[in-house]
Chains A and B, each alone.
Chain A
Amino acid sequence: GQQVMQIPQYQHVQEGEDFTTYCNSSTTLSNIQWYKQRPGGHPVFLIQLVKSGEVKKQKRLTFQFGEAKKNSSLHITATQTTDVGTYFCAAPLGGSNYKLTFGKGTLLTVNP
């Protein structure tokens, strides 16, 4: 079936370094959502992107939606230990507004 490919699968950084995770789809997306899951926790919504080329910022986090609406990225500037967790992108695929497909996630670990 249709998928949202997310890379990298893992990323280990030193505290203060930057981090980026990418999501790619072979089809045009109506929107894309980003979630964070702390170790042992549940996914928590971060943001939704809808418009082509959209860029949104939340403090040290910058989210981008590609011009063709087929890819998206999450960039964290100057990582902190509180950023540790798995970051997921999610998008409705197959023309359905009811079936949200998640990427496999990027696990971020931060060395203090």
Chain B
Amino acid sequence: NAGVTQTPKFQVLKTGQSMTLQCAQDMNHEYMSWYRQDPGMGLRLIHYSVGAGITDQGEVPNGYNVSRSTTEDFPLRLLSAAPSQTSVYFCASSYSTGLETQYFGPGTRLLVL
């Protein structure tokens, strides 16, 4: 099993550009989530999904969209990137809820100029 995979590993955007961060897992996990990590801020929850077709907001959802059309994939979309979205983004998955072991992907480092 590959576990949780994320692409790209690095990305540089200009302000106002859009992009999609990809996340996939092959563990048949129902629960998937996106976090951003900024220096001194820990990991903050952006959006999460409890299954295909079901998503909800986390702590810092503004500026981000998500959808979950399949169990395996949970892409994160930035519609109009801003410098404040410069961060490291981690996708995570678990069997069904946030109460279980979270398996994290390797992360995407995003720089918005």
Contact = CB atoms under 8 A, between A and B. Distances in A.
Tell me, yes or no, whether A binds B.
Answer: yes
Contact of A99 (B98, B101, B104): B98
Nearest to A107: B40
Interface string A87-112: 01010100011111111110000000
Contacts of A48: 100-101
Contacts of A41: 106
Interface size class of B (residues with CB under 8 A): 20 to 34
Instruction: Specify which of B43, B90, B101, B103 lies most central, judged by the most chain A CB atoms within 10 Å of its CB.
Output: B43
Given A9-B40, A98-B56, A99-B58, A31 B105 contact: no
A1 B44 CA distance: 12
Interface string A74-92: 0000000000000010101
Contact of A102 (B31, B43, B101): B43
Interface size class of A (residues with CB under 8 A): 20 to 34
20 contacts: A1-B59, A42-B104, A43-B90, A88-B42, A92-B98, A97-B98, A97-B99, A98-B48, A98-B56, A98-B98, A99-B48, A99-B58, A99-B59, A100-B33, A100-B98, A101-B59, A102-B44, A103-B42, A104-B41, A105-B42
Interface of B: 31, 33, 35, 40-45, 48, 50, 56, 58-59, 90, 92, 97-107
Interface of A: 1, 6, 9, 30-31, 33, 35, 41-45, 48, 88, 90, 92, 96-105
